[in-house]
């Protein structure tokens, strides 16, 4: 499995008071753009999220891998778990992609990992119909507990079978979601999906979910049998 950084270009955007770094990947004729909200101790160079991002690009989705914290802030554990701050910056990044000529008009999705999933949940709840879909990988959506019932975006929660504490938390979060939702348990996988084929399953599931909800006008899913 190749864990090299995706093809894309480094970009810089401003959240209130700070500059943020990202990698913007633009496949030809993209039909949506997915913003990656990374988990604790991770950022735009995360090999796992880069792997998923390449898979999404191959499916026709633009991607923005984003550092929600500056290098100095990333060493502060309080900020790493400050979901309000992370969500605010994710919303700033959403404004940015909606205004960029390359991504303006594309439907927006969020991919969240670990604490980044909580930021994605809160940001999506606040953004309403601007967000077309959410995917969480081994995430902690429970850290945005009060926002879960407000999320309108179709939400896919992916958890490893052997990641038992996080799996239970995701079951609780799934029960609170009111919109279209699904919880998928990857057999034999642990928290980081390091087992052979596990991360490929995550990437396939994410690509299918985003294609289903972002590729069609108005977010209407294709008819399934």
Q: What CATH number is given to the structural domain containing 132?
A: 3.40.50.1820
Element (H, E) at 112: strand 107-113
Which one is predicted more confidently, 39 or 78? Answer: 78
Opening angle at CA 122, ends 183 and 129, nearest 5? 85
Q: Is residue 154 within 8 Å of residue 214, measured between CB atoms?
A: no
- pLDDT tens, residue by residue, 173-196: 999 999 999 999 999 999 989 999
pLDDT of 217 over the 80 cut: no
Distance of CA 26 to the CA centre of its chain: 17
CA distance 19 to 198: 34
pLDDT band at 41 (very low <50, low <70, confident <90, very high): low
pLDDT of 221 over the 80 cut: no
Here the tokens at position 85 are: 């701050």
pLDDT of 54 over the 70 cut: yes
pLDDT at 17: 83
Q: How many CA atoms lie within 13 A of 116 on its CB side?
A: 28
Q: For the chain, how are helix, strand and coil distributed in percent, rounded to 5? A: 40, 25, 35
Host domain of residue 209: 9-217
C-beta neighbour count of 101 within 10 angstroms: 6
4 within domain boundaries: no
Mean pLDDT of 154-164: 97
pLDDT of 36 over the 90 cut: yes
List of residues 6+ apart from 67 with CB closer than 8 A? 20, 21, 22, 38, 43, 44, 74
pLDDT at 119: 96
26 within domain boundaries: yes
pLDDT at 1: 39
Opening angle at CA 182, ends 178 and 183, nearest 5? 115
3 within domain boundaries: no
Candidate ranges 2-11, 36-45, 135-144; pick with highest mean pLDDT: 135-144
C-beta neighbour count of 99 within 10 angstroms: 10
Q: In sequence order, what are the beta bridge partners of 44?
A: none
Here the tokens at position 193 are: 């999906």
- pLDDT tens, residue by residue, 21-34: 999 999 999 999 99
CA distance 218 to 129: 10
Give me the number of domains the chain comprises: 1
29 within domain boundaries: yes
């Amino acid at each position: 499995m190749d864990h090299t950084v995706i093809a894309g270009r480094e970009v810089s955007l401003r959240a209130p008071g700070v500059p943020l770094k990202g990698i913007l990947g633009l496949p030809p004729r993209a039909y949506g753009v997915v913003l990656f909200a990374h988990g604790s101790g991770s950022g735009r160079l995360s090999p796992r999220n880069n792997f998923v991002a390449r898979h999404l690009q191959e499916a026709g989705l633009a991607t923005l891998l984003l550092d929600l914290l500056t290098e100095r802030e990333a060493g502060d554990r309080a900020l790493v778990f400050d979901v309000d701050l992370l969500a605010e910056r994710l919303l700033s990044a959403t404004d940015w992609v909606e205004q960029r000529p390359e991504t303006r008009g594309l439907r927006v999705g969020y991919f969240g990992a670990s604490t980044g999933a909580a930021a994605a949940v809160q940001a999506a709840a606040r953004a309403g119909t601007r967000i077309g879909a959410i995917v969480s990988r081994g995430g902690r959506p429970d850290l945005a507990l009060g926002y879960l019932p407000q999320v309108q975006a179709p939400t896919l929660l992916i958890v490893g079978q052997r990641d038992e504490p996080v799996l239970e938390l995701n079951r609780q979060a799934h029960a609170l979601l009111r919109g279209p939702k699904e919880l998928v348990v990857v057999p034999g996988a642990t928290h980081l999906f390091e087992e052979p084929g596990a991360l490929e399953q995550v990437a396939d599931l994410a690509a299918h979910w985003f294609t289903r909800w972002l590729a069609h006008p108005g977010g209407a899913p294709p008819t399934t049998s």
